[in-house]
Structure 1
Amino acid sequence: MASIPHIDMSRYDNDFDALVQDIGKGYESFGFVALTQHGISDDIIHGALDISRELFALPEETKKKYHLKGKGGARGYTPFGTEIAKDAKHVDLKEFWHVGRELEGQAPYPQLTPNVWPEEVPAFKTRMLDLYQALDALGNKVLDALAVYLKQPRDFFRDKVNLGNSILRPLHYPPIIDEGTPSVRAAAHEDINVLTLLVGSREPGLEVLAKDGSWIEVSIIEGAIICNIGDMLQRMTNYLLPSTTHRVVNPPMPFSANSRYSIPFFLHFNPDVIIDALDSCVSEDRPKKDPAISSDDYLMERLREIGLIK
Structure 2
Amino acid sequence: MPAPNAIEKISDMASTRDQVAVIDLSDWLARTPEGDAVAMRLVDSFRKVGFVYVIGHGIAAEAVTAIFRASYRLFQQTPAQLDKVHYRHAGHYHGYVPKGVLAGTGSFHELYDCGMDIGDDYQGPGAYLSNMPNPWPEDLPGFRETVEGYQQLMRPLADELLAAIGVGLGLPRDFFQARSAIPHAQLRLLHYLPRPDAPDDALSVGRHSDYEAVTILAQDDVGGLQVRDPHGQWMDIKPIEGAFLINAGDMLVRWTNGTIPATPHRVRTPRERERYSVAFFYGTSYDVVMEPVLPPAHPVVERHEPVTGGEYLWQRFTEHGI
Alignment TM-score, normalising by the size of structure 1:
0.89
2:321 pairs with 1:302: no
Which residue type is aligned with residue 292 of structure 2? A
**Contact between 1:107 and 1:113, CA under 8 Å: does it hold in 2?**
no
CA distance in 1, matches of 2:311, 2:237: 32
CA distance in 2, matches of 1:108, 1:169: 22
Cα shift at 1:103: 4.5
Change (3 A) 1:173 1:215: same
| 1:8-19 map, 5 Å | 8-12=24-28, 13=30, 14=32, 15-19=34-38
Aligned to 2:179: 160
Percent identical pairs in the alignment equals 29
Cα shift at 1:51: 1.3
Alignment TM-score, normalising by the size of structure 2:
0.86
Instruction: Deviation per CA, 1:131-180: give whole Å up to 9, x if none.
Output: 11111111111111111122221111113223212101011112226536
Instruction: Deviation per CA, 1:215-269: give whole Å up to 9, x if none.
Output: 1111111000000000111111111000001110124xxxx13211100000022
**Contact between 1:82 and 1:91, CA under 8 Å: does it hold in 2?**
no
**Structure 1 residues not aligned, in runs of 5+:** none
Cα shift at 1:70: 7.6
Instruction: Deviation per CA, 1:154-208: give whole Å up to 9, x if none.
Output: 1111132232121010111122265369862111111111100001122120011
**Contact between 1:34 and 1:224, CA under 8 Å: does it hold in 2?**
yes
**Contact between 1:277 and 1:288, CA under 8 Å: does it hold in 2?**
no
Aligned to 2:68: 49
- In structure 1, the residue corresponding to 2:52 is in which secondary structure? strand
Instruction: Spell out structure 1 runs of 4+ moving beyond 6 A.
Output: none
CA distance in 2, matches of 1:55, 1:121: 7
Instruction: Deviation per CA, 1:17-49: give whole Å up to 9, x if none.
Output: 111111111111110000011110010001100
CA distance in 2, matches of 1:44, 1:142: 19
Deviates more, 1:299-308 or 1:199-208: 299-308
Which residue type is aligned with residue 284 of structure 2? F
Cα shift at 1:99: 2.0
Which residue type is aligned with residue 20 of structure 2? I
CA distance in 1, matches of 2:277, 2:214: 16
Aligned to 2:23: 7
**Contact between 1:82 and 1:307, CA under 8 Å: does it hold in 2?**
no
- In structure 1, the residue corresponding to 2:115 is in which secondary structure? coil
CA distance in 2, matches of 1:113, 1:17: 38
RMSD (Å) for aligned C-alpha atoms: 2.2
- In structure 2, the residue corresponding to 1:69 is in which secondary structure? helix
Deviates more, 1:115-124 or 1:242-251: 115-124
**In structure 2, which of residues 237, 242, 260 is the aligned counterpart of residue 241 of structure 1?**
260
Which residue type is aligned with residue 140 of structure 2? V
- Aligned residue pairs total 298
Instruction: Deviation per CA, 1:38-85: give whole Å up to 9, x if none.
Output: 11001000110011001000011211111232856422212222223x
CA distance in 1, matches of 2:261, 2:49: 7
- In structure 2, the residue corresponding to 1:128 is in which secondary structure? helix
| 1:246-285 map, 5 Å | 246-251=265-270, 256-278=271-293, 280-282=294-296, 285=299
**In structure 2, which of residues 187, 193, 197 is the aligned counterpart of residue 174 of structure 1?**
193
